[in-house]
Every structure is written in structure tokens, then in C-alpha cells.
Amino acid sequence: MKLEDKVVVITGASSGIGEETALALAREGAKLVLAARREDRLRALAEKIKASGGEAVVFAADLRDASLAEACIEKAVEAFGRIDILVNNAGAMLLSPIDRAEPSDWQSMIEINLLSLMYTSRAALIKMREQGSGHIVNISSVAGRSAGPTAGGYNASKWGVNGFSEALRREAHQDGIRVTVIEPGVVATELTRHIPDEETRTSYEARVGEMEPLESEDIAAAILYAVTQPRRVNVNEILIRPLDQG
Ligand code: NDP
């Protein structure tokens, strides 16, 4: 198994990409800290992993809170003695045209997509430096590379992720710490269900209905690839779109 005894924290593990990534990494022997707000779903996932012979603990919290985001990293050290890989995946996509956007939705996206990722990265970096190794995987988006209508707030958060990740990569590499940015296109998950602006949600769903979107397991496979390369290989960025997405 390629990740035997590696300790991995996954944020946003209660559904979609995070859940599939947890299962994929557990199959390779990783010990997991599963973080998100929906404790029942995290517990069910942990049980599933344990039933297959793996190890997983749950950290149920709203990671927009800086102290809880840091505690999530502490949980790994407390449960398993170290942290080898952090997958910053928790996120929200509250699309709407700029003039109809609720400032509270912008705030929420900046807080969960960007700030919480910065808090967990900082806490993990400190631990990984002590260990002399580690890998931080940040889930950005195609929306972190190109911007467009209805995605202003989401674009701002994901461009922020890319900027922060590049700075982090350049600071961390001399300490043996790798940083990878994953930029998915459309993935079939519950992310779209939370789009608050009805017109935007309807037209987004219609666009998705015309294509075969990616599945969460496709992104999990990309993450698994990045974290199982030899130490000399630092996969900086993976951009992955459905074939049908222009
Ligand atoms: P999901 O909605 O299935 O997953 C989002 C996850 O984030 C859930 O586990 C959710 O758990 C968690 N989360 C949201 N808010 C918080 C919070 N405040 N505190 C803790 N956890 C939180 O969608 P995806 O799997 O699609 O999304 C995962 C990542 O992939 C996101 O960063 C998203 O931006 C990115 N992405 C997704 C794409 C897609 O098309 N689906 C495309 C490009 C990028 P809970 O509600 O239990 O807290």
C-alpha cells in the first residue's frame, strides 16, 4: 500500500470529493482525520473505513473558525502522532451575479474556501517543518484560473487559493514540504445544490445537464497521484476538466 501509516487530514470529508478522497487514501493505508460540520456523515464514513480495516477519526466543526481549523490539525497529532498530508477541500460555491450577491455569501465563501485553508495550512506547516516532511494539497478550481459571470465571489476565493498556494510552495519546499493545487472543472456533487440565486442555479444545472461531468473519484485519483509520487517530485498543479467542458 502506497500510503501505509501516513497520517492525512481531509477537510470537507462529509460528501463529494472529500469523501471519495478519504476512501481512496484509506485503501492505500492512510490513517485519516475526517473534518466537516455534518458529524453523522463523518461518523458513517469513519465506520465504513474501519470496517475495511482502516483507521479514521472524526473532527466535526465549522472550519471558518480559526481556532477550530487549527484544532483540526492538532487532532491528527493527538490521534496519530503526526501529520503527513493535508487535503484542504472544504468549500462552497454560492454563485450569483455581482449585483444580486448577498455580502454574507461572499463572506462565507472567502471564510471557508480561502481563510480556513490558510489557517489549516499554517498550522500544518508548523508541524511539518518539525517533522522535515509533509504535503499540502489545496483544492482550487477552474474558477481559480479563469473568471466569469455569476462567479465573482467564488472566483475571488479560488484565485486567492492559487495565490496563497504558490507563496506557500515557495516558502515550504526547502523544508521538504510539497504543495499541490488541484483545479477541477465540473464535478457531479452536491456543491451546486447550495447555489442561492435561483436563476443562476437553474442555468448552471442546465449547462451541467448537457455534459458528462467528472465524478468525485476522478478528483480523488488525481489527489492520490500527487501524494504518491517519490519525494523528489512536487506536483505543483493539476487542472482537470470533463471532456465536454469547453
Ligand atoms: P460538496 O458540497 O459535496 O463538499 C463540500 C464539503 O465542504 C462538504 O464536506 C462540506 O461539509 C464542507 N464544508 C462546507 N462548508 C464548511 C464549513 N464551514 N466547515 C467545514 N466544512 C465545510 O462539494 P464538492 O465535493 O464538489 O467540493 C469540494 C471542493 O471542490 C470545494 O472546495 C469546491 O469548491 C471544489 N470544487 C468543486 C467542483 C465541482 O464542480 N463540484 C469544481 C471545482 C472545485 P459540511 O456541510 O458537512 O460542513
pTM attached to this predicted model: 0.99
Cα separation, 13 vs 90, whole angstroms: 7
**pLDDT 10s digits, 184-214:** 999 999 999 999 999 999 999 999 999 999 9
Asked if 154 is an active-site residue, the reply is yes
DSSP E strand boundaries for 62-214: 85-88, 134-139, 177-184
**pLDDT 10s digits, 2-40:** 999 999 999 999 999 999 999 999 999 999 999 999 999
Q: Please give the distance, rounded to the nearest whole angstrom, from the Cα atom of residue 117 to the centre of ligand 1.
A: 12
The answer as to whether 246 is a domain residue is no
For ligand 1, residues with CB inside 6 Å are 11-18, 36-38, 62-64, 89-93, 112-113, 139, 141, 184, 186-187, 189-191
The answer as to whether 234 is a domain residue is yes
The answer as to whether 58 is a domain residue is yes
> Which domain, by its residues, includes 111?
7-240
Give the CATH number of the domain where residue 179 resides: 3.40.50.720
**pLDDT 10s digits, 94-126:** 999 999 999 999 999 999 999 999 999 999 999
Chain mean position to CA 192 = 16
- The protein residue with its alpha carbon nearest to ligand 1, atom 17, reads 62
The answer as to whether 1 is a domain residue is no
The answer as to whether 84 is a domain residue is yes
Cα separation, 87 vs 77, whole angstroms: 15
The answer as to whether 127 is a domain residue is yes
Number of domains in the chain: 1
- Provide Rg for the chain, Cα atoms: 17
Single-letter residue type at 99: D
Q: Which of 191, 205, 208 to mutate to test the pocket of ligand 1 (most atoms within 8 A of CB)?
A: 191
* 189: DSSP letter: S
Cα separation, 145 vs 246, whole angstroms: 14
Q: Please give the distance, rounded to the nearest whole angstrom, from the Cα atom of residue 113 to the centre of ligand 1.
A: 9
Single-letter residue type at 3: L
Q: What is the pLDDT of residue 246?
A: 83
* 37: DSSP letter: S
